[in-house]
Amino acid sequence: MRPEPRKIAGAVCTLALVVSACGSEAPFPDGRIVDLSHAYAADTIYWPTDGRGFEYETLAAGPTGAGYWYAAGRFATAEHGGTHIDAPIHFAEGHDAVDEIPLGRLLGDGILVDVRTACAADADYQVRVQDLLDWEREHGEIPTGALVLLRTGWSALWGDRRAYLGTDATGPEAVLALHFPGLDPDAARWLVEQREIAAIGLDTPSIDHGPSRDFQSHRILSAGGIPALENLANLGALPARGFTLVALPMKIRGGTGAPLRAVAIVAD
């Protein structure tokens, strides 16, 4: 579903400040806002080993004795489900937990690498170094500190668990039946060592492709301090470059991951 972009009000732009990668304050960028997050609900897709999914309990919803409306609820969720962040500690002992990730890694200049054609031909496709070099030939070198997004086209399958994950089974055995694209470990290493990116994200359930058994891309990125943003939405509304990504998770102390509200601000 294509988001409805809107302009940021000029008055808000002059007041709002963001923290840049170097820690200084800068005016909030102008442009159209694109929501890159799926909503959390009972049908939100989680990893097959999660048996609970997203749980919401209504605690109050209605008029009070004083005559005003009051509503409140309680929710429960695993760290890794729906649109979420993987903190480096997820696969690298002693590295940053969710609340320790520097903010400069979570907002800044974004780029989009479109690999839909390859993924349509191979559900288990792994984005390769060559895909990134092809992008650079057309758009210029990936900037140091960039937030890199990979568009596989998989978010179009969101809501169809079997199509999105490759299986609608649950439990440990279901992990062996997963099929979706991801990032090749060599490409993960190249992005960490040769381009020193700030973060990476994609529109599939995992940065490692579905058949992975050793999660090498997770391990390489986590060891390099790189957070991964998973189950992103609406990447089709973004250009190859020329947008600011803001990917702020719930600040869970010691968390290995967290629900994420990611948005992009696309320059006019």
Residue 102 belongs to a domain? yes
Q: Is 205 in a helix, a strand, or coil?
A: coil
Question: How many helices and strands (H and E) does the chain possess?
Answer: 6, 14
Which residue bears the tokens 């948005």?
Answer: 263
Residue 72 belongs to a domain? no
Residue 3 belongs to a domain? no
Mode of pairing for the β-strands spanning 69-76 and 55-63: antiparallel
Distance CA 135, CA 113 (A): 7
pTM (2 d.p.): 0.90
DSSP at 101: S
- Long-range CB pairs of 185-191, under 8 A, 24+ apart, other chains included: 185/216, 185/217, 185/220, 186/128, 186/129, 187/126, 187/127, 187/128, 187/129, 187/131, 187/132, 187/217, 188/216, 188/217, 188/220, 188/221, 189/220, 190/129, 190/132, 191/132, 191/142, 191/148, 191/221, 191/226
DSSP at 121: H
pLDDT at 116: 98
pLDDT digits (tens, 9 = 90+) for 78-97: 999 999 999 999 999 999 99
Distance CA 46, CA 190 (A): 29
Residue 115 belongs to a domain? yes
Distance CA 30, CA 9 (A): 8
Residue 5 belongs to a domain? no
Q: Is the dihedral of CA 137, 190, 81, 146 positive or negative?
A: negative
Residue 111 belongs to a domain? yes
Q: Which residues contact 242 (CB under 8 A, 6 or more apart)?
A: 266, 267
Domain span at residue 100?
Answer: 10-50+79-266
What are the strands, taking DSSP E only, across 41-146? Answer: 55-63, 69-76, 84-86, 107-114, 126-127
Residue 93 belongs to a domain with what CATH number?
3.50.30.50
Q: Which residues are catalytic?
A: 90
pLDDT digits (tens, 9 = 90+) for 15-50: 244 444 444 456 678 899 999 999 999 999 999 999
pLDDT digits (tens, 9 = 90+) for 208-265: 999 999 999 999 999 999 999 999 999 999 999 999 999 999 999 999 999 999 999 9
DSSP at 7: B
pLDDT digits (tens, 9 = 90+) for 141-174: 999 999 999 999 999 999 999 999 999 999 999 9
Using the predicted structure, report yes or no on whether residue 268 has a pLDDT greater than 70: yes
Residue 63 belongs to a domain? no
Residue 120 belongs to a domain? yes
Are 129 and 186 contacting, i.e. CB atoms less than 8 angstroms apart? yes
pLDDT digits (tens, 9 = 90+) for 100-139: 999 999 999 999 999 999 999 999 999 999 999 999 999 9
For the chain, how many structural domains are there in total? 1
* Dihedrals phi, psi of 267, to nearest 5 degrees: -65, 145
